[in-house]
Amino acid sequence: MRIGELARHAGLTVRTLHHYDAIGLLTPSTRSEGGYRLYGPEDIARLHAIQAMRQLGLSLEDIGRLLDDGGGTTLPVIVEQQLRAIDVQIEQAEKLRARLGMLQAKLATGSVPDMDDWLATIRMMTTCDKYFSADELKTIFGNWRRIYTDWAALITDVRRTMKAGVPADSLEVQPLAHRWMTLMGIWMDGNLDLIYRWGEMYRREPSALTGKGPDLGMVAYMDRAIQLRMAALGRHLSIDELLRLKQVPPEAWDTLAGSAAELMRQGVAPGASRARALGKQWLGLLERVADHDAVLFDKLLAAYCQEPLVAAASVREEAVRQYLQRTVQSVLDPIAA
């Protein structure tokens, strides 16, 4: 075949075939009586092999080396190189998808981000690449939408508490610590390693501070409250047992506290039937935290009864907390009540 005819049959351009000839990849091997260069059967078979390997993504240089070496031991090496290259492309695509997911989550809040917000988001995504895999970023940014509203409200409450001068080791801060831990658990899928690495990134990378999240002072403040809570829990539960605890939405505790405050307003005694019903609800929430494990429930109950820091986490107002504790005691020990 002459070059134009071969180009039409192969679905290529004449320019492509000239390029193949120029680099020595595919050269016409015969000539016609009129002196025209022609592609013979072996040339056409070689072109078929070139196109097939191009479909695999191999470079022209690799294809030429393969064809000239007759396959040999080079093929496994080149295929392995291609697989590694594809893996890199997949990882880059997954990271890009995670970044786009984060941007989508911001847009889903209904607000139009300004330029500073966009730039802060881009800086955050670039920083995250140093600490997390593509799969981990997918989890983190995917879960962000689940906690965004609650997280913003929590940050506001913590700022207000800090501004009021409440010490980090105060019982008043424990409900905030409990909410902080709950939301972080949801955000990071309960993975303590992710939570730790996120904290490390936040402390080490100035670009992680977006201006709308907690500053390092707030992080240190909450770390202190959380450390005190974990130490109190650690006197009753092992690390493995702590990891088995389930999250109960803060709204459930808030609803219970609201009902208790209403009974207090009405002057209902902690041992009355209506109050005891609240005590049973409180114990039911604790069972959910213990994942309905009787042994774990007993240990957790002991922590709530003996550790003021632990008990303070679920109910913010001390008077309401004490009232609920008495209703619970009336359920656990009806004779004494």
How many residues does this entry show for the chain? 337
Pairing of strands 30-31, 37-38: antiparallel
Q: What is the pLDDT of residues 58-86, one digit of tens each?
A: 788 888 888 887 655 466 776 777 777 77
Task: Please enumerate in sequence order all residues whose Cβ is within 8 A of that of 27, keeping only pairs 6 or more positions apart, or say none.
Answer: 20, 21, 43
Q: What is the pLDDT of residue 210?
A: 60
Q: For residue 37, list its beta bridge partners.
A: 31
pLDDT at 259 over 90: yes
185, 242 in Cβ contact below 8 A? Answer: no
Model-level pTM? 0.62
Q: What is the pLDDT of residue 145?
A: 79
Whole-angstrom distance, CA of residue 131 vs CA of residue 205: 11
Among residues 300, 303, 170, which one has the least CA distance to residue 246?
Answer: 300
Q: What is the pLDDT of residues 27-54, one digit of tens each?
A: 998 888 777 889 998 898 888 888 878 8
Chain centroid to Cα 22, Å, comes to 51
188, 143 in Cβ contact below 8 A? Answer: yes
Among the CATH numbers 3.40.50.1000, 3.40.50.300, 2.40.50.140, 1.10.1660.10, which is that of 3-72? Answer: 1.10.1660.10
Could you write out the DSSP letters of every residue in 28-56?
--EE-TTS-EE--HHHHHHHHHHHHHHHT
Q: Report the share of the chain in percent with pLDDT over 90.
A: 37
Whole-angstrom distance, CA of residue 122 vs CA of residue 278: 48
Q: What is the pLDDT of residues 212-240, one digit of tens each?
A: 678 889 999 999 999 999 999 999 999 88
Residues of the chain with CATH 1.10.1660.10: 3-72
Whole-angstrom distance, CA of residue 163 vs CA of residue 270: 35
